[in-house]
Each structure stands twice: as C-alpha cells, then as structure tokens.
Amino acid sequence: MEALEKVRITVKVNGKIYTHDIDPRLLLVHYIRDYLGLTGTHVGCDTSNCGACTVILNGKAVKSCTLYAFMADGGEILTVEGLEKDGKLHPIQEAFWENHALQCGFCTPGMIMTLYDFLSRNPRPTEEEVRRAIEGNLCRCTGYQNIVKAALWAAERMRGGGGDE
C-alpha cells in the first residue's frame, strides 16, 4: 500500500499555535491527544455517540472523533485543559466538583465542553434545556441528576451569582 502524502496544519489550541505535518486520515481527537499530549479529550466510541471527545472548534462544540485534523487547519480549538486560568478552575469545572457531577470521570471533559458551548449561548437555562443540551453525551455512572445540577450552578456563577440556585 502506498503511503499518503502528509498535510501541514496550523491550529491554535488553548491559546498556543501548533504546526504539524500529519496523515490526512488523522482524526482531530487523535491529533489533540497524540500530537499535542492533551489527554483530557477522551476517545470513547469513535462514532460520535458518546460525546467524550467534545471540544470547542471556532466557537462551537464539535465531536472531535468525527473530524479529520486537517479540517481544523487555521482554526482555534479549546479543550478542557484550556478552561482553567491562572490556577483557577472554570465555573463549570468547579460546579462538577462542588456538585458531585462525576464518578468515573470518563464523560466529564466532553460534558464540560458541551456545557461550555451551551451556557455561552444560554446563560439562564432551565433544567429541561440543560438535559436537551447534553443529550448527545453519554454517562454510564451518574444518572445525570448532578450533572444537570452542576450546569445550573455553573450558569448562576457565570452570571455573577453565588451558585446556590
């Protein structure tokens, strides 16, 4: 079998610019994990059903197992590692901790990134809206109740409230 010619991509990930020559068949999730060493983005189902690989690409939540890395060329990616600033967790990360919204933690990065996108567009969600927003992310441990509670708590914090909703 003949080797494919490499393609060069340049992306901005969590504020830092990276350039690599990659196989054109490389999925974005594998680029993030294997080339950049950002293992918070999880490989779950490889079929876009679980949402564990969710990242923010050019301002929108995407399942990185469904995109080739070259499709992100010139783009800006935010991963769960990029949410923390100056040693301080993002309110959504803090909400997961404070509200016991994780157990095994496998789905957590994808849930957090999905909620990051959702809450940036809907700062005052209802419980039903949160449940709809995360329906593309699977969790086998929590039953979702504390994830929803954490999302509502984070929304309050992000609006400047105390988070005791």
Q: Do domains 7-80 and 91-158 have the same CATH topology?
A: no
CATH of domain 7-80: 3.10.20.30
Domain boundaries, the chain: 7-80, 91-158
Contacts of 87 (CB under 8 A, 6+ apart): none
Cβ neighbours of residue 37 closer than 8 Å, sequence gap 6 or more: none
- The model's pTM is 0.93
User: What is the pLDDT, as a whole number, of residue 1?
Assistant: 65
Domain 91-158, CATH homologous superfamily name and number: [2Fe-2S]-binding domain (1.10.150.120)
Q: What is the mean pLDDT of residues 12-20?
A: 98
User: How does the average pLDDT of the chain come out, rounded?
Assistant: 95
Q: What is the DSSP letter of 145?
A: H
Task: Give the span between the Cα atoms of 24 and 67, in whole angstroms.
Answer: 11
The DSSP call for residue 6 is P
The predicted-structure confidence for 88-110, as pLDDT tens digits, reads as follows 999 999 999 999 999 999 999 99
